[in-house]
Structure 1
Amino acid sequence: MKIAIIVREETMRRCTGSGCMNAFFQRLDSFARYADCNDVELVAFTHNGGDLEKKIATLKKKAVDVVHLSSCIRGKDSNYEALARRLSEDFAVVGYTHGGEVGSTGPAIILEKASGCR
């Protein structure tokens, strides 16, 4: 299973991405769903700025299965739901990375296309 993480561009100016990366590599929080998967690969880590359609095309070429939107996008980006819906046209979407599935702004958007490990 190929995973991409999209973070908030403004947050990346001061964030190292360690919360997202730690959650991925330790299979914590939103990545706990892959605890029993042996073939999970992080193939992209990018921000939500720039040309989204070009990024989507690149993610499709990389055969991404699931896009995780960072917890900072959920908490601070007014386009969170629209971004999740657009990405769900091509990928499963998990609308957070670390912390709880229900955050201070409400529950994460989770739009799954398929379940389980490949």
Structure 2
Amino acid sequence: MKIAILVREETMRRCTGKGCLQAFFQRKDAFAGYKGDVELITFSHAGGDMEHKIEMMRKNGVDVVHLSSCLRGKDPNYEVLAKRLSEYFDVIGYTHGPAEGKERETLSIKKQQTAN
């Protein structure tokens, strides 16, 4: 299983990524259900050229994209980004902390079957 984590660009300016990475490597919170061989392929922010990032993730065989908990909590485009990513990947809408956000529901979307 190949995993990508996308975080909020503005938060990345001051965040070390410790919460997301700790949850991944300790297999807790959003990553608790993963068993066996799991590889972190991408840890990046959701800003910039997202179409290029999607192509690179596809090229590198990413199966699941986790949107960080800060994206869920603070990014107004959280739902739009999740839907776009689900064209090619399964999307889990958080990384660490409570499964449900304070401000909005956590998304979990299976990859759309029509994508190539």
TM-score by length of 1: 0.92
**Partner residue of 2:62?**
64
User: Shift of the alpha carbon at 1:33?
Assistant: 1.4
Pairwise mapping of residues 1-118 of structure 1 onto structure 2 (< 5 A)? 1-34=1-34, 37-113=35-111
Q: Which amino acid aligns with 1:69?
A: L
Whole-angstrom CA distance in 2 between matches of 1:51 and 1:7 = 14
Unpaired runs of at least 5, structure 2: 112-116
Q: Which amino acid aligns with 1:93?
A: V
Whole-angstrom CA distance in 2 between matches of 1:88 and 1:106 = 19
Whole-angstrom CA distance in 1 between matches of 2:33 and 2:104 = 20
Between the aligned residues of both structures, percent identity stands at 64
Whole-angstrom CA distance in 2 between matches of 1:94 and 1:86 = 13
TM-score by length of 2: 0.94
Write out per-residue CA displacement over residues 54-104 of structure 1, whole angstroms, 9 at most, x where no aligned residue. Answer: 000000000000000000000000000000000000000000000111110
Q: Which amino acid aligns with 1:62?
A: N
How many corresponding residue pairs? 112
Structure 1 stretches (4+) deviating beyond 6 angstroms?
none
For the residue of structure 1 that corresponds to 2:43, the secondary structure is strand
**Pairwise CA RMSD of aligned residues?**
1.2
Whole-angstrom CA distance in 2 between matches of 1:39 and 1:107 = 29
